[in-house]
């Protein structure tokens, strides 16, 4: 690999790792392992590749590989005649992430609907002049936004699920 693309990969591993630390609440090295595997694709990485590439101890890499496997974030494959394990991101982890996102949005949407319904009733019961005490446009717009986002993510989820079925 050229020196320039290798430097780009290292920078991306760091940036993606920091993002995964925050988003997925992963320890720093576990996030860097995930980032490395994302950028390695289907060819995977061996244990030794990770130790060398991330400049971490064997025991630390091993600990994080085990925890990522238990969390079903990564998996591995072997090649006949080769004693090494090749670690890759779990193909199902994207589905798990999308399902989690959809569930969270659904809960948020339900809360906004409850708050909006409360405010509507409050406006009806407490407005003698016909003026609204609570403004409801934000809730309507936000619920519409969530529904559109959910529809888009559900389409992506279907494509990912279909692709996994065909592999």
pLDDT at position 2 is 85
Q: What confidence tier does 1 reach under pLDDT thresholds 50, 70, 90?
A: low
Residue 118 has pLDDT above 90, yes or no: yes
> pLDDT tens digits for 44-80?
999 999 999 999 999 999 999 999 999 999 999 999 9
Q: What is the mean pLDDT of residues 117-138?
A: 84
pLDDT at position 46 is 96
pTM listed for this prediction? 0.75
Domain borders along the chain are 3-89, 93-166
Please name the fold of domain 3-89.
Arc Repressor Mutant, subunit A (1.10.10)
d(C-alpha 7, C-alpha 128), whole Å: 68
């Amino acid at each position: 690999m050229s020196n320039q693309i290798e430097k780009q990969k290292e920078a991306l591993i760091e940036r993606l790792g920091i993002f995964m630390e925050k988003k997925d609440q992963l320890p720093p090295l576990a996030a860097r392992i995930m980032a490395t595997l994302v950028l390695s694709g289907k060819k995977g990485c061996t244990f030794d590749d990770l130790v060398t590439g991330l400049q971490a101890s064997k025991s630390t890499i091993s600990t994080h590989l085990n925890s990522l496997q238990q969390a079903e974030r990564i998996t591995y494959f072997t090649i006949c005649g080769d004693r090494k394990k090749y670690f890759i991101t779990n193909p199902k982890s994207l589905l798990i992430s999308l399902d989690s996102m959809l569930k969270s949005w659904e809960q948020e949407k339900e809360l906004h609907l409850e708050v909006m319904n409360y405010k509507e009733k409050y406006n009806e019961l407490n407005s003698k002049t016909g003026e609204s005490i609570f403004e409801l446009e934000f809730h309507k717009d936000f619920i519409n936004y969530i529904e559109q986002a959910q529809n888009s993510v559900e389409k992506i989820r279907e494509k990912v699920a279909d692709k996994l079925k065909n592999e």
